[in-house]
Structure 1
């Protein structure tokens, strides 16, 4: 088989692992909580440690690949991701698991940043479109089956196996990449932006840490004030550094074009609303409604499968309908879906969420192709890689900040409602409810008060759940309005025959 097809297989395997790892983890979180006795903040870090490091290193990994060769960085990313997956599986406490998840994100950044570049270097013309289509289908497939796969592995073998399953696949893929892929690099690579990487990653970490720990430590505590203040200073410094550097990891000039700024907001708000809500939807379905991991994963299929089937239809419609309409309507549907889910009450079944799941699936399917095509369509071809990297970074930042922000609101509302319903609840009970550990906490309570506490716990959880559904809906609707207002057809760049071609990558020694 020709080298280019081996390259496509390797890239699709890597992409499937990366996206699957995001979706399978959500379904396994209640099992992780019970096994490791994890708090809500620890569960948030299981998601955010991965998203944060993936966002922080994504653009830098692309620049590094241009310097030393794409295969080297891709293979190194595979090795890091595979080793980190093994560490996740053997973690005996939440701290070790979250550190391993952060390492997974570093490996994931190296793989994700080089995936499209590897396809582009091997395929031209119509074949390139076919290859990118296969890559896109892989993304959709991973998102569609992720909850079910995660539920099946967790229920049959334990949560550890959502990570262990990556190890043999990763080893096989590493052998494939080292023997079949060419190691090409850019002919004129840019120097690495170390100041930008440092200020962005540390600033983002300070922000997420402050949001996650704010409720437990107290928002006015010195630790939280220092964390959020340092984050603000570092992120402002990052913007200043990127504005002044000729070889910035984040080209701020791209945001001068309204369409690029608009689609970045759409990517951020989609992740901060719908995708960040998956953590709390999973806790509700498993811990309040009592479904097993496999049954919970199956309940997400109406959303994920509809998104998978709507996406290619939306891609074809973009040739006839302005992309701003697809972006605005798609994200608007996500906002409406979250409003449809809002208002659950004690005693409701999962079917109360079904209408919202179906509308959300249609909305996500409509908006995802438009995000990708707009991000690279409104810049010149030679800057498409940077634009795509920025877009993916905004997606991950949205997940990280969304999970943390919604968690802060959720935990505050749960504590407030529990104090109203059960003022004599034992210390730490609100935290146990928020993290899905109410059942274990109930066993430690006096037997005579368990029934009352169980009802209060579920009512408090539902109160917090409804609150963040409403907040998420508002975020999605704001993103929809912004995308519709800023993304304009005239901002798209047409490739002319006389336009200068990008320099071809050159092969380097293995």
Structure 2
């Protein structure tokens, strides 16, 4: 039992950092009322955390390679705990957004070091089992988040979704100090400040552009200027990485099609599997009137199947072809998204979500563990933080971009449906529905048109959610095809856990 304590330590941190990606979703309506938040603030409460996590994981991984993976992991837990306290005590939306950003910084430090710490603690089939359990926790966390968030919001307060992190973080730090070893030999070099700054700025500009597109539409010139600036900053990042002696990201890895395939898989997996649940939760609560707990429980089929598949098959999947495992998982995620969309029509309610969510969970459970092991097999052990940071960066960017992009899909489809019902200012009404403000619209409507608006809102919301799952399903299937092409082995297959690492100069 003692040999699995390092795994438990890493999984504990992974659980709380990933659960905080989605735990906020079901609490959003309560936050909007309590903090008097705008739609933009509503988006940023979610995206500030996801963006900070996505933008900083790669840099945190490179720092961890220099100063020690265990040390950075413990520091991340401490920052995460302190910022969680700030979130719980927040008096307005601005303070909450700042605290969520700091929370993302701590989460990035933890997430960047998980794979490297697992590789240090386990080898052979034990490593396969460890990645399987870790994948089960990672895959289930996003689905458990809404359940736990609903339970705490309904029976305590939305603030307790943050306060609960404090005792968990304290236990995690204690286990780190007493049970977690780090056999890493720190790499030589300096922190790549230029690379970190340019990449963070590029990610921030791109995500902010998508959020503005959600709020005001794609016709705004500001949106396209921000996207252009993001592209320029990304080019600056690439130029810096090509010339600095100790780059945050070894661009040579991008010539390895398997590594590129894993990066794309991480990005598209979180986009396809999890981003649409934000708008599902808003629909369930603000339109159908479900409680936060009931809305969260709809994600339970996904959580159960993801955990069961990943934990049960981790050791069995050791040594199997990663292209088939990851590609098969993404294909199931895509099929599950389309199955969910097929059930959402007319007066559909939460039961329509169950079959598709279960299939998505199976796909997540298959793909998640292998992503980590394959990425770590492509680099030398002392660059494990960089590899983990790269993959986890794409995972979190996929979630942040997915929320923003699918928000536009939801609002666009809802606007079209509302226009067909003769609702005036359909674009504004659609954005209000996407932001969870449907009850306020109905309260403000004249009594004579309230019933018509109520029916139109229900129909438009179902159409909007259906559209998000159509797009998510298509993205999952596209991702599966890309993985099968890019990660397909050439010549003799080598197990991801036993592959010879690509040594850095």
TM-score, structure 2 as length reference: 0.89
Q: Is the partner of 1:342 in helix, strand or coil?
A: helix
Q: Give 1:132 deviation, angstroms.
A: 5.3
Q: Give 1:119 deviation, angstroms.
A: 4.6
- Asked if 1:469 is matched to 2:469, the reply is yes
Q: Give me the whole-angstrom Cα distance separating, in 2, the residues matched to 1:172 and 1:381.
A: 28
Contact 1:426 1:445 (C-alpha < 8 Å) held by counterparts: no
Q: Give me the whole-angstrom Cα distance separating, in 2, the residues matched to 1:14 and 1:498.
A: 27
State the partner residue of 1:219: 218
Q: Give me the whole-angstrom Cα distance separating, in 1, the residues matched to 2:471 and 2:362.
A: 20
| More displaced 10-residue stretch of structure 1: 441-450 or 129-138 | 129-138
Q: Give me the whole-angstrom Cα distance separating, in 1, the residues matched to 2:214 and 2:17.
A: 31
Q: Give me the whole-angstrom Cα distance separating, in 2, the residues matched to 1:271 and 1:119.
A: 22
| Compared CA separation, residues 215 and 341, structure 1 to 2 (3 A) | same
Contact 2:49 2:104 (C-alpha < 8 Å) held by counterparts: yes
* Aligned 1:275-286 pairs, distance under 5 A: 275-286=274-285
Q: Give me the whole-angstrom Cα distance separating, in 1, the residues matched to 2:310 and 2:133.
A: 13
State the partner residue of 2:445: 445
Deviations 1:295-327 (A, max 9, x none): 122221111101111124443453575332222
| More displaced 10-residue stretch of structure 1: 26-35 or 340-349 | 26-35
| Compared CA separation, residues 377 and 128, structure 1 to 2 (3 A) | closer
Deviations 1:337-376 (A, max 9, x none): 1111214223112222222112212221222223223222
State the partner residue of 2:107: 108
State the partner residue of 2:151: 152
| More displaced 10-residue stretch of structure 1: 317-326 or 439-448 | 317-326
| Compared CA separation, residues 388 and 465, structure 1 to 2 (3 A) | same
Q: Give 1:121 deviation, angstroms.
A: 4.6
State the partner residue of 1:396: 396
Q: Give 1:140 deviation, angstroms.
A: 4.7
Q: Give me the whole-angstrom Cα distance separating, in 1, the residues matched to 2:153 and 2:90.
A: 15
Q: Is the partner of 2:339 in helix, strand or coil?
A: helix
Contact 1:63 1:190 (C-alpha < 8 Å) held by counterparts: no
* Aligned 1:136-175 pairs, distance under 5 A: 136-140=135-139, 142-143=141-142, 145-174=144-173
State the partner residue of 2:47: 48
Q: Give 1:404 deviation, angstroms.
A: 1.0
State the partner residue of 1:410: 410
Q: Give me the whole-angstrom Cα distance separating, in 2, the residues matched to 1:493 and 1:329.
A: 19
Q: Give me the whole-angstrom Cα distance separating, in 1, the residues matched to 2:498 and 2:177.
A: 37
Contact 1:67 1:185 (C-alpha < 8 Å) held by counterparts: no
Q: Give 1:481 deviation, angstroms.
A: 0.6
Contact 1:422 1:456 (C-alpha < 8 Å) held by counterparts: no
* Aligned 1:303-342 pairs, distance under 5 A: 303-319=302-318, 322-342=321-341
Contact 1:71 1:184 (C-alpha < 8 Å) held by counterparts: no
Q: Is the partner of 1:291 in helix, strand or coil?
A: coil
Contact 1:84 1:104 (C-alpha < 8 Å) held by counterparts: yes
Contact 1:425 1:453 (C-alpha < 8 Å) held by counterparts: no
| Compared CA separation, residues 204 and 462, structure 1 to 2 (3 A) | same
State the partner residue of 1:240: 239
Q: Give me the whole-angstrom Cα distance separating, in 2, the residues matched to 1:355 and 1:497.
A: 37
Q: Give 1:380 deviation, angstroms.
A: 5.1
Q: Give 1:389 deviation, angstroms.
A: 2.1
Q: Give 1:200 deviation, angstroms.
A: 0.8
| Cα RMSD (Å) | 3.2
Q: Give me the whole-angstrom Cα distance separating, in 2, the residues matched to 1:339 and 1:174.
A: 41
State the partner residue of 2:191: 192
Deviations 1:83-102 (A, max 9, x none): 21112112233332222111
| More displaced 10-residue stretch of structure 1: 243-252 or 113-122 | 113-122
State the partner residue of 1:350: 350
State the partner residue of 1:506: none
State the partner residue of 2:259: 260
Structure 2 runs not aligned, ≥5 long? none
| Equivalences, count | 502
Q: Give me the whole-angstrom Cα distance separating, in 2, the residues matched to 1:500 and 1:321.
A: 18
Q: Give me the whole-angstrom Cα distance separating, in 2, the residues matched to 1:358 and 1:70.
A: 35
| More displaced 10-residue stretch of structure 1: 365-374 or 161-170 | 365-374
Contact 2:372 2:388 (C-alpha < 8 Å) held by counterparts: yes
State the partner residue of 1:507: none
Deviations 1:457-501 (A, max 9, x none): 122222222222222122111111100111123376579999899
Q: Give me the whole-angstrom Cα distance separating, in 2, the residues matched to 1:233 and 1:35.
A: 39
| Compared CA separation, residues 315 and 5, structure 1 to 2 (3 A) | closer
| More displaced 10-residue stretch of structure 1: 16-25 or 113-122 | 113-122
Contact 2:39 2:215 (C-alpha < 8 Å) held by counterparts: no
Contact 1:33 1:435 (C-alpha < 8 Å) held by counterparts: no
Q: Give me the whole-angstrom Cα distance separating, in 1, the residues matched to 2:72 and 2:253.
A: 26
Deviations 1:191-236 (A, max 9, x none): 1111111111111111111111124345344533332221121112
Contact 1:39 1:432 (C-alpha < 8 Å) held by counterparts: no
